[in-house]
Amino acid sequence: MDFSIKPIEAKTGLAAVKTGCLAVGVFEDKKLTAAAKELDRKGAVTAALKSGDITGKAGSTLLLRGLDGVAAERVLLVGLGNDASVSEKNFLSAAQAAARAFSNLGASDGAIAFPFEEIKNRDVSSAVRGAVLAIRDANYRFDQTKSKKDPEKGGVKKVAFLTSAGAAAAAKTAVAQASAVANGIALTKDLGNLPSNICTPTYLAGVAKKLAKDFKFGVEVLDRKQIEALKMGSFLSVTKGSDEPPKFIVIKYNGGKPKDAPIVLVGKGITFDTGGISIKPSASMDEMKYDMCGAASVLGTFRALGELGLKLNVVGVIPTCENMPSGRASKPGDVVTSMSGQTIEILNTDAEGRLILCDALTYVERFKPAVVVDIATLTGACVTALGHHNTGLFTRHDEAHDALAEELLAAGKATGDTAWRMPIEDAYQEQLKSNFADMANIGGPPGGSITAACFLERYTKKYTWAHLDIAGTAWKSGAAKGATGRPVPLLTTFLINRANGK
């Protein structure tokens, strides 16, 4: 799908726009947007609303052909909901509805004239970015593992967003940024949706190497012997039961000045999680292929970085392995020594994500980072707390960490890839006490997502850090089963804002 910006000519207006299909918005209660009114020269649009052929409900559509005085071959009416204010949700529903309608047309090009400057809580740039991402999401397909590929969809392949002349420059930048982000999201979805017999730690390392080759990133992949030399005893305890070799991936984007401190993204890469000896119930265990979505989001963000060309330095760190039961696997009650020298009593082998992340969080100290953000499908408790709408955001509570939290929350709000800040307090640290080690790897059911974050926090004392628990937002179950690509929009927008000094 190709996207472009086309300023509306003041003299000729929308009626003169030549395109296979022109999409305009209509509201509930039979009200027209300014764009729809401009095309209603002979009353055809008003008549369609009065007849009840379209209600104006967000996401509803009606296709009209051959309107008198309109150069476009077709006009697509798209519902925007209540006209009091166009909400973000209704706007994105309308964009996705337009994408679905476009895909079934005999036209190869289309144009969208939504009220981009009237979307609640969005400026023109963020509205256009949202529309691009919504359209790309509606057109995403995964058929890599099918013997017969899904037939190539016809319809519109080129979409122009029609804006005022004054907004055109900002909208053009937004399209370029959104296209890069959409490519990153697509990579993240593809990696998440691949089965674990294909998407192994070695496969993820191969993807990192290909990205490095394509976009001139730096990359290093450490194998078991190198991981052992670093004394990552906590990471190694998770991979003991698997025949798949672990990998520790480091990928570097150097767009800033050589001495600029990098932003470090750390992604959990458990390519399949059985729970180990503390084995999970079999129902829905297939979804544990998604336990590497943190790693996938880091690679997807780097895919976007390769196109964005931001002036900052970013390092991605991905510890990746399987968590399997076998005669070699770690057992409940085992005590291991992390790279930091701190010892951990493993009370539950299914709390393995924190065991690989803690060594990665110690490793990143060598980069003297500006900030570190880890991304992990870490706890079912976060799903219980926040459902599937918000990612859990955890940081310490001080000036530097509050500022980082606000940056991440703002980036999420701007993209609809939202997060919600959760507490980290000393009172929760008490739950990690162990009689036999410096800490236990679980703190019991109460506040499970918080104690998991508290565990990670013990390894991040030397830099400013945030933890994103994406267990509820990285994938969908049921009929819509599949990876979502989150939080690539949040992360890339966070990086764009950093590069722009925001």
Distances (CA, A) of 200 to 278, 289, 377: 22, 10, 17
Tokens of 474: 């990285």
502 in catalytic set: no
129 in catalytic set: no
Strands (E), 21-124: 22-27, 31-32, 61-65, 74-79, 109-113
Q: Which residues contact 77 (CB under 8 A, 6 or more apart)?
A: 23, 24, 25, 26, 36, 45, 48, 49, 54, 61, 62, 63, 64
Amino acid present at 276: G
Parallel/antiparallel/unpaired status of strands 74-79 and 61-65: antiparallel
Tokens of 116: 């981009």
Among 349, 346, 362, 357, which Cα is nearest to 453's?
357
Burial environment of residue 353 by CB neighbours within 10 A (0 to 12, 13 to 18, 19 or more):
buried
Q: Which helix (H) or strand (E) holds 219?
A: strand 218-222
Catalytic residue, candidates 30, 231, 280, 476: 280
**3-class SS at 335?**
strand
Query: Residues with catalytic annotation?
Result: 280, 354
